[in-house]
Structure 1
Amino acid sequence: MTATDRAPAVEKPGQLIEMSWDPITRIVGNLGIYTKIDFPNQRVAECHSTSSLFRGYSVFMRGKDPRDAGFITSRICGICGDNHTTCSIYAQNMAYGIKTPPMAEWIINLGEAAEYIFDHTIFQDNLIFVDFCEAMVKDTNPSVLARAENTPAPHADVHGYRTIADIMRSFNPFEGETYKQALKVSRITREMFCLMEGRHVHPSTLYPGGVGTMPTPTLFTDYLSRLLQVLDFVKKSVALNDDVFDFFYEALPGYEEVGRRRVLLGCWGAFQDPAVVDYRYESMNAWGKAMYVTPGVVVDGRLVTTDLVDINLGMRILLGSSYYEDWVGEEPFVTHDPLGNPVDMRHPWNQTTLPAPGKRDFGDKYSWVMSPRWLHPETGEHLALDTGGGAYARLYTTALADIVDTPYVRSTGHSVQIHLPRSHQLPEQTLEWRIPLWSNAIERDRARVYFIAYACAMALYFLERAMAGLRRGDLKVFQDFEVPDAAIGVGFHEAVRGVLSHHLVIRDGMIANYHPYPPTPWNGSPRDRFGTPGPYEDAIQDMPLFEENGPDDFRGIDIMRAVRSFDPCLPCGVHMYLGGGRTLQQAHSPMFGASHG
């Protein structure tokens, strides 16, 4: 437990009790959750999500050499910086008219797979599971722990823990075996990453046009040897997760409502297929569908689109409760996309960051995060899509699309099947993630470990393809290019915790406009100008509470589980600039510090 897990200060206006957790995240303290709680009815009556972090990427990118964009934007985040680099490179490839050599694409895919395995593991086992560990459950729901002591673990033959309580003890920080093993896995997977991308977390070998990593048999076998070391841990983790999460549904009837919201999911796709991708906007629908994680928008369980062109054109950046002035009325940067479709003034290509600092007012403006929304082409709704913490949306869209078909991963229309070969201790396994009934805290958390298995399986496939290329003598990893005087580009990728896009406008050979939109503003946005709450707010507001503590020693564990299931991070959420002659003085700047993106 951390300092932020202690009971917050309490005020009692009438029957509702105001409680806040600010910060609520365990790494970067920029996310505040402000609530009003109805204790007699054990419900959250009201919720607001805030960010107090000031940053400036979307403004100080202007006038820079576009070739520097990947190196600069990787510093947005201290953990998912490589996702930003990769996405920036995708946007630049489009703007410069580059088709990357196939071997370079396999190397990038291998690096990104290692990042997913690393980041999801350390977040799940060293951060999320603190909320499900023995110490926390004993403090917040002692009756649940008592039941766990007498509940056999269904998959004990896989992971080795006799009871659910034994699993919970393995989650205890610094002492539990699962906690300690995850730290070892994080070291191994970082080594895998560095083999491909040179440095963690700000890559030194990724560029528009390709990579600087030289493909050799030793490179790929070194990666493979490390990947095989973590497969036992991954197989056990899936079994551990299923046992604990299924137990919570049984022990606390109604727990499916914790963090539950309407199924509104966005995934922008990951892992390019070198045989299809050419980064041309005109063919973006084709190469988007060929990704090994299928892009898409899911509304109420229905896959609305898998077309990246539709996804791009539907993006809107709304204000409302954000500390910014509107830019509508200014001259647009882009009026039409390369296919001739009109581009809205609230699209990221046309966005201008105009900060307007003010006092926090939950009836007006209260956050530095803007409100990205997706315009539904059929209903006209501005949808507050969420990413389900990244893994949930990726598995959901891929399952429904029923496109991915490799020897290691296959989508079925209702599930994703993941095949892992025999490892040191455990036999080969075919895991199956099935589309669940709910979009809630537990299912977001459950999906995370299944996607770790997915990334492991795809890494095996990418290794096979890269080695086959080596045997053919396919060693080219970089394509020369020239920066045009004027161009636009967009990169679509998946950061670990969800959708990531970079929109680029070049004029006179320099950056005229640049807007990265990571998962955090999608998930952590405040109420927009239509009054629609952001996903954090929506998932918590009107949520039932199951904690056994009363107001005086309330920990808010159910609220924490709901927020953290999205894998929250605020450094990626706010990009801010103080203009008009204003200056901001502070003793320490968080801009380039280590962060959890």
Structure 2
Amino acid sequence: MATQDGIVEMAWDPITRIVGSLGIYAKVDFNNNTVADCYSTSSVFRGYSIFMKGKDPRDAHFITSRICGICGDNHATCSVYAQNMAYGVRPPHLAEWIINLGEAAEYMFDHNIFQENLVGVDYCEKMVRETNPGVLALAERTPAPHAEDHGYKTIAGIMKSLNPLEGEFYREALQVSRSTREMFCLMEGRHVHPSTLYPGGVGTVATIQLFTDYLTRLMRYVEFMKRVVPMHDDLFDFFYEALPGYQAVGQRRVLLNCWGSFNDPDHCDFTYKNMAAWGKKMFVTPGIVVDGRLVTNDLVDINLGIRILLGSSYYENWTDKDKFVTHDPLGNPVDIHHPWNQHTIPKPGKRNFEDKYSWVMSPRWFDGKDHLALDTGGGPLARLWSTALSGLVDTGYVRATGHSVEINLPKTMGAPEKTFEWKIPMWNGEPLSNAIERNRARTYFQAYAAAQALYFVEKALAEIRAGHTKTWEPFKVPDEAISVGFTEAVRGVLSHHMVIKGGKIANYHPYPPTPWNASVRDEYGTPGPYEDAVQNTPIFEENSPENFKGIDIMRTVRSFDPCLPCGVHMYMGNGKSLDRVHSPHAFTGEG
């Protein structure tokens, strides 16, 4: 901690309750109770894009799933999508429904455990008591508007239920994460590195019993969500009421990206030439949202606009002579900084916030004029926003209206039919992207994933009853190909770009949500989303600078659901790096 002209320099490194080496370095202006400046850092490098070169393309999904021990199946799925395009293979319908069910289970599992057992701790009774005792006192006097739905009479009761290890709801959520993980394993064999997922389909033995086992667990989750959505609405709405101005915590310009999820096998043939059409048939609609407006939901446009800038990261640039791809399969020119043409050239150095300070690059989306620092909104915010504006999804269980998303959960043993509506967040007539709304969207997307899974089960069972039990199509690896896979990892956008030459991988670049969210200042001086969201965030914590926990900063960063393995990778050079330890840290909730 250092003080200069009333500005206190503070660091949280590493950020707790996430995987990976994320550090936040900020200048806090306690005179004005705001964050004056922020830098997001990552201290390790692993280099998957380097050692993928020369590998057999058929191994890509097995290798890339190991990028992360949390969302490995998302990587495997995206890699399989890229391979399907490269090999020209279209899996049987049943295989695609199985993959959709596996990914739906992953969303339910991961969002549940993060929302309730990790980010939920930021709003628990113990945390609020340490940082905002006045807010807790008000919570104890405030009745919960939806108490009859979730069972907690006051807002303080909700907060207490989220206390780590001892809170009732905290423990219940841990049990739910077990059943959702079982659901994934039923579809894809193993979590988080699928054992039955391949290009061309799956090796899962599809039976009526298999889907019945999945469905019994799913219906318990559906009933669980009928309590969770109103509970979180009560909690998050309370913070707006208790702390006027709290909508500015973690707020940044609405710059959201979603690559789409859950392919429709009736339309998806995995060809690049038809990608714009089948992309719009996804059950989560791809899209780029700028200032609340849908710019495009065309996956070809999205693909061509991706740029990998280096900015303040520890890498050397590459040149036009290093191009792998000059034009896409439709004849469109491909930029030198597109992932198909990227080279990963590490150049480690001493951390310098005036120059290079992180191993995370700066992915941007070029709209023809500006390189936009898009963020995923933690994943669900961008997914729901893009789907709502496109108005293309309607399965009966989920309907996109053009301004909202309706989620219909059927009757369960302990609760009647329930409809939830996620509405595009607005504040004073303007679209709102902030910490609270990223977290709220995560809750609604849990219900969204469950509702869509009900539809996928019906479609899979219809295939079996019609005698269509085949789950895999054969294929051949071409001598040369370029391909891309698009999907949504739990935390947001995921793309895998592959170039094959001589039957081997010549270039391979996976881009998960973390490089987008945790990116650093690019060569134009534009900060990454973490940095941008923390900068100018007001401070509502009641503690003095000497006992400052930084809870509003932590809520901002964790609202993005950060998970650094996907964004940073290990590199061992000739020197050693020693990070200073800063304290005090916010309550970690790690036992």
TM-score scaled by length of structure 2: 0.96
2:545 to 551, 574, 595: 551
The one-letter amino acid of 2:491's match is R
SS state of the match for residue 491, structure 1? strand
2:565 to 555, 571, 594: 571
2:257 pairs with 1:266: yes
- Distance in 2, matches of 1:349 and 1:320, equals 19
- Distance in 1, matches of 2:548 and 2:27, equals 13
1:543: how far off?
1.1
1:328: how far off?
2.1
1:575: how far off?
4.2
1:14: how far off?
2.4
Q: Which residue of 1 aligns with 2:82?
A: 91
The one-letter amino acid of 1:433's match is W
1:536 to 530, 536, 539: 530
Check whether the contact 1:294–1:306 (CA below 8 A) recurs between aligned residues. yes
Q: Which residue of 1 aligns with 2:584?
A: none
2:347 pairs with 1:389: no
The one-letter amino acid of 1:533's match is P
1:186 to 157, 165, 177: 177
1:450: how far off?
0.3
SS state of the match for residue 186, structure 1? helix
Q: Which residue of 2 aligns with 1:592?
A: none
Q: Which residue of 1 aligns with 2:458?
A: 464
2:241 pairs with 1:250: yes
Check whether the contact 2:158–2:231 (CA below 8 A) recurs between aligned residues. yes
Check whether the contact 2:20–2:565 (CA below 8 A) recurs between aligned residues. no
- Distance in 1, matches of 2:338 and 2:574, equals 28
Q: Which residue of 1 aligns with 2:317?
A: 326
Check whether the contact 1:25–1:569 (CA below 8 A) recurs between aligned residues. no
The one-letter amino acid of 1:58's match is S
Change (3 A) 1:584 1:80: farther
Q: Deviations over 1:349-386 (max 9, x none)?
A: 00000011000000000000000000013xx1100000
Q: Which residue of 2 aligns with 1:435?
A: 424
2:397 pairs with 1:403: no
Q: Which residue of 2 aligns with 1:55?
A: 46
1:26: how far off?
1.1
What does 1:163-174 align with in structure 2 at a 5 Å threshold?
163-174=154-165
What does 1:217-366 align with in structure 2 at a 5 Å threshold?
217-366=208-357
1:550: how far off?
1.0
- Distance in 2, matches of 1:577 and 1:487, equals 30
Q: Which residue of 2 aligns with 1:211?
A: 202
SS state of the match for residue 12, structure 1? strand
SS state of the match for residue 281, structure 1? coil
- Distance in 1, matches of 2:20 and 2:330, equals 43
CA RMSD of aligned residues (A): 1.1
1:32 to 23, 46, 49: 23
Check whether the contact 1:355–1:576 (CA below 8 A) recurs between aligned residues. no
- Distance in 2, matches of 1:366 and 1:330, equals 28
What does 1:116-155 align with in structure 2 at a 5 Å threshold?
116-155=107-146
1:235: how far off?
1.2
Q: Which residue of 2 aligns with 1:417?
A: 406
Check whether the contact 1:500–1:517 (CA below 8 A) recurs between aligned residues. yes
- Distance in 1, matches of 2:473 and 2:344, equals 34
The one-letter amino acid of 2:253's match is R
Check whether the contact 1:58–1:576 (CA below 8 A) recurs between aligned residues. no
1:230: how far off?
1.6
Check whether the contact 1:232–1:426 (CA below 8 A) recurs between aligned residues. yes
Q: Which residue of 2 aligns with 1:525?
A: 519
Change (3 A) 1:496 1:309: same
- Distance in 2, matches of 1:385 and 1:576, equals 25
Q: Which residue of 2 aligns with 1:71?
A: 62
SS state of the match for residue 37, structure 1? strand
Q: Gaps (5+ residues) in structure 1?
A: 1-9, 587-597
SS state of the match for residue 520, structure 1? helix
The one-letter amino acid of 1:263's match is V
Q: Deviations over 1:50-101 (max 9, x none)?
A: 0002201010000000000000000000010000000000000000001111
What does 1:488-499 align with in structure 2 at a 5 Å threshold?
488-499=482-493
- Distance in 2, matches of 1:418 and 1:25, equals 33
- Distance in 1, matches of 2:104 and 2:167, equals 27
SS state of the match for residue 340, structure 1? coil
1:320: how far off?
1.2
TM-score scaled by length of structure 1: 0.95
1:178: how far off?
1.0
1:119: how far off?
0.1
The one-letter amino acid of 2:43's match is S
Q: Gaps (5+ residues) in structure 2?
A: 427-431, 578-591
Q: Which residue of 2 aligns with 1:109?
A: 100
Q: Which residue of 1 aligns with 2:472?
A: 478
Q: Which residue of 1 aligns with 2:589?
A: none
Change (3 A) 1:575 1:349: farther
The one-letter amino acid of 1:570's match is L
2:443 to 432, 435, 449: 449
Instruction: Figure out how many residues of one structure are paired with residues of the other and give that number.
Output: 572
- Distance in 1, matches of 2:322 and 2:182, equals 47
1:576: how far off?
6.1
Runs ≥4 in structure 1, deviation > 6 angstroms? Answer: 583-586
Change (3 A) 1:57 1:46: same
1:583: how far off?
6.2
Q: Which residue of 2 aligns with 1:595?
A: none
The one-letter amino acid of 1:402's match is G
Check whether the contact 2:18–2:562 (CA below 8 A) recurs between aligned residues. no
- Distance in 2, matches of 1:349 and 1:517, equals 11
SS state of the match for residue 333, structure 1? coil
1:370 to 356, 361, 368: 361
Check whether the contact 1:353–1:576 (CA below 8 A) recurs between aligned residues. no
The one-letter amino acid of 2:360's match is V
Check whether the contact 1:83–1:495 (CA below 8 A) recurs between aligned residues. yes
SS state of the match for residue 330, structure 1? helix
Change (3 A) 1:585 1:218: farther
1:487: how far off?
0.2
Check whether the contact 1:22–1:29 (CA below 8 A) recurs between aligned residues. no
Q: Deviations over 1:546-580 (max 9, x none)?
A: 000010000000000000000011110024667xx
1:25: how far off?
3.4
1:585: how far off?
9.1
- Distance in 1, matches of 2:16 and 2:339, equals 28
The one-letter amino acid of 1:320's match is G
What does 1:11-30 align with in structure 2 at a 5 Å threshold?
11-30=2-21
1:179: how far off?
0.4
Q: Which residue of 1 aligns with 2:587?
A: none
2:510 pairs with 1:516: yes
Q: Which residue of 2 aligns with 1:161?
A: 152
Check whether the contact 1:55–1:577 (CA below 8 A) recurs between aligned residues. yes
Q: Which residue of 2 aligns with 1:594?
A: none
The one-letter amino acid of 1:476's match is K
Q: Which residue of 2 aligns with 1:589?
A: none
Q: Which residue of 1 aligns with 2:588?
A: none
- Distance in 2, matches of 1:221 and 1:239, equals 28
Q: Which residue of 1 aligns with 2:586?
A: none
- Distance in 1, matches of 2:48 and 2:175, equals 34
The one-letter amino acid of 1:332's match is K
The one-letter amino acid of 1:387's match is T
SS state of the match for residue 450, structure 1? helix
1:528: how far off?
0.3
Q: Deviations over 1:520-557 (max 9, x none)?
A: 00000000000000000000101111000010000000
The one-letter amino acid of 2:503's match is G
Identity of aligned residues (%): 70
The one-letter amino acid of 1:269's match is G
1:29: how far off?
4.0
